[in-house]
Amino acid sequence: MADTWSLGSHTFTSRLLVGTGKYPDFPTMQRALTVSGAEVVTVAVRRLDLSKKGSESLLQWIPKGMTLLPNTAACFTADEAIRTARLGRELDMGELVKLEVIGDKRTLFPDVEALVQAARVLVKEGFTVLPYTNDDPVTAKKLEDAGCAAVMPLGAPIGSGLGLRNPYNLRIVMETVSLPVLVDAGVGTASDAAVAMELGAVAVLMNTAIAEAKEPVLMAEAMRDGVAAGRKAFLAGRIPMKLHAAASSPMTGLIGS
Amino acid sequence: MQLRLNGEIREVKDGTTVAALLVQLGVRAPRVAVEVNEVVVTKDRYEAHGLRAGDAVEIVAFVGGG
């Protein structure tokens, strides 16, 4: 049976979700997205630059068949995030939204109080809400109670590449909610993605780690493989850690014994 | 009359509709979403929605983001 997962009415096979920001150029982004195997790509909603007529559209560079996940990045209030989500839905005609309400410019940590408020409103309006949140189990539970379709705790600050700073909290989040848990933000390299999946994340969302790698297309492939390896290791069930050795070769039948 | 369009004051003819504004701006409607006074105007209402002096109009599109 295929190893799939679901968000609202969507079912996916790939467990890597990729952002579309910060690539050196659109052709590189397109190749990276294709190689990543991602089925979901995030996009941001911004004012159209009315001085630049006929500028290239992002959408024509996103490979066909990928599901768009509009975000509410850089919104600092619940109201801004709600309005941005509605505009994203009008643009895409889809109900998915990556909900971000940012509380602090320097760290881009979420304002979880406003996040929960915005989530309640958007769920009532029929959105499939995927909130970007802190690695806090209490907030995760509130987001579940608000009717979110998943929770997306950060591994580390957005774009930091620090990896999973608190894997223990991520585990507690995973055992606290019965929703899919996606690790969103903080991944720096393929091993970070693998660790997130080994912990039991349903999927991993990343942007900068691919887009700002020296070779974004190669890193997209590495991330695809890291996520896949981590998922397989999770399903396979790792051995418990032991303090002392447990020999792999027989300790009997040695020559000269 | 004056509108606030994407944060900037702009002069348009009285009675301009959302559809007419997009034509005037050379914007292709399928690629954008429009909000007037913080409420989304859906595409099927562009022709009917007349703008009024002082309206705050936002025209947005998708850009790269994470």
A110/A121 Cα distance (integer angstroms): 17
CB atoms within 10 A of CB A178: 8
Q: Which pLDDT tens digit goes with each residue over A146-167?
A: 999 999 999 999 999 999 999 9
**Distance (Å, whole) CA B21 – CA B1:** 13
Mutate to test the interface with B, among A87, A99, A187, A204 (most CBs of B within 10 A): A87
Q: What is the mean pLDDT of each run of 10 residues along chain B (66 residues)?
A: 96 96 89 96 96 97 95
Flag whether residue B7 sits within 8 Å of chain A, measured between CB atoms.
yes
Q: Report residue A257's pLDDT band, with 50, 70 and 90 as the boundaries.
A: confident
B27 to chain A, any CB pair closer than 8 A? The answer is: yes
pLDDT for position A93: 85
Is the Cβ–Cβ distance between A96 and A123 less than 8 Å?
no
Tell me the Cα Rg of chain B. Answer: 12
Please give the ipTM for the structure prediction.
0.95
pLDDT at A210: 98
Indicate yes or no: CB of B58 within 8 angstroms of CB of A88: no
Residue B10's nearest CA partner among A80, A50, A45, A55 is A50
Q: How far apart (Å, rounded) are the C-alpha atoms in residues A200 and A193?
A: 11
Greatest alpha-carbon span in chain B: 40
CA–CA distance, A174 with A218 (Å, rounded to integer): 30
Judged by phi (left if over 0) then psi (alpha if -120 to 50, else beta), residue B19 lies in alpha
